[in-house]
Structure 1
Amino acid sequence: MQLEFLQPSAAVASLVTIFYLYRSDEPVIDGIERADVGQIRFMLKGQGQLFFPDGHAEPSCPIMINGPGTGAAAYRVDGPFHCFGAALRPQGWGALIGIPAHERADRVTDGEAVFGAAGTALLDALRGETSVEAMAALVERFLLACARSIPPEHQRLCETVRKWLAASEAPRVAALFDAIPLSSRQVVRLVNHYFGAPPKLLERKFRALRAATALADGGDPREVAELFYDQSHMIREIKHFTGHTPGTLASRMDPVLAMTLSPAAFNELSPPEQP
């Protein structure tokens, strides 16, 4: 199994947080992925199913657009499985996908239906490359050609939400409402549209993911638990958003999940590099 990460260039950093290339030549690959941001995944080899928090399952497709996750999901793929992916910023979801993110949360969207023949041609070209750098260069050109503009006020809202989530290990929704000169109803509607969930769920999601990252990086469980009401609350929240308890994060964590929880990969809240 191989998982490589690559930072996007400044030209697409407002759309994408990270590129990655996953390869496994096992005949069957089972795993768990944490509640994630929106993704575009190019299935270079393999096909399978995803199993979502509400219990429903969906098949993969050659170009797979995964909506933002509201809880951990499981997957099973008939290998060998090779996949190139791009993790999207909320602005990137709006500019590239166009569908309100909350309508596709915990869902798979057929990327060939969204991107058409140009997407299919890109997939074919990616299958002819071997390095994450060459694949990223192809995908960056494609994304820049596809991206639509989104209203400046929506861009500012997305950046305000990012800063709100990044500013505290336990952000509070009231602070977000205070920071945006809109009614609370408008804020919730726009946050749903770009982030795929209302502010309260984002607060829970990123607190749990931060806690899981800290524990996976060797943090003191007692200090991490201070972010929650009590220890049982911490266990429930981490289990919901990562599929693991704090104990299994340390002892039996899925290897791909371990990599995506590493501080180097967990950068959804990092500021975009300016072109």
Structure 2
Amino acid sequence: MVFEQIFGPKWLEKKPGLTFLLGFVYAELGIISALLIFPENPSLISIGFISILILPSLNQLLSMETNQDIKRKKFSLIYLFKDHYDILSVYAFLFLGILLAYGIFAAVLPAAHTERVFEVQLDIYFSNVGRSIDPYVGTIQGAAVQGASVAGIAYSQAADFWSIFLNNLKVILVCLVFSLVYGAGSILFLTWNASVWGTIFGYVAKRTADTGPEIVNFFVIMACVFPHMISEALSYFMAVFAGGIISKAVIREKFDSRMFNHVLLDGFVIFFLALVLLLIAAWLEVYIFPFFTC
């Protein structure tokens, strides 16, 4: 694959910040390819195209991170953070790049086109707020599996702390299970997550165009929700990464060996930290976010 050769895992590891641009470009290519090849159902096909572009490099990155875990002689939270900061940054910047691409498409396209091109993503929004309600009132959902049967809430005026946390806990468990089973293939789930957030933010920006330009509204919405959104998203990345390195260890190492147990411990610690971050995200959403108005 051409992109895999140009943007290899070592390049991504050394320059994680540039993966924001990479995520944006991949998303644009995925959306345009889906529109050209499968114009009848681009909303889901685009997710597949984007994931295919990202998967090879991310798979190699997970292998490199697993090697670092195996080589480390003893467990240390400091070294755990230093060793894996780069790949978590890659996940975060890829996510934001994909989110931005979907957001711009949703904000710039005419409303009728947006609702057709991103029909599946917007179904999550409409199922919670309806089609004729003020777009600032209601629920913006963060992730979905099998027709949004499991979804992470990104904003809800009515939900309390525990309902938000427990709902998002379902998502983080799905992230873990997906990464254990599919390894780096779980990027499909995170790509879907980014597409839903980006599309809904862009669509809301379009529906409130009377208050300002769509793109400006989009970034205003992003600024308002960013603290708890990125905290919630990071917890998902950590869960995916934890499952990913455990999945690699299961394939490569002998069960119950020292190296296997070392990676397993790292995975459990990372997942525990993801749960802590999810609690923080829910707290920010319930107790801090209501003080901000968009």
- Pair in the same fold by TM > 0.5: no
- Compare CA radii of gyration and give the structure with the larger one: 2
Which structure's residues are more often strand, by fraction?
1
Query: TM class by shorter-chain length?
Result: under 0.3
Which structure's residues are more often helix, by fraction?
2
* TM-score, normalised relative to structure 1: 0.25
* TM-score, normalised relative to structure 2: 0.24
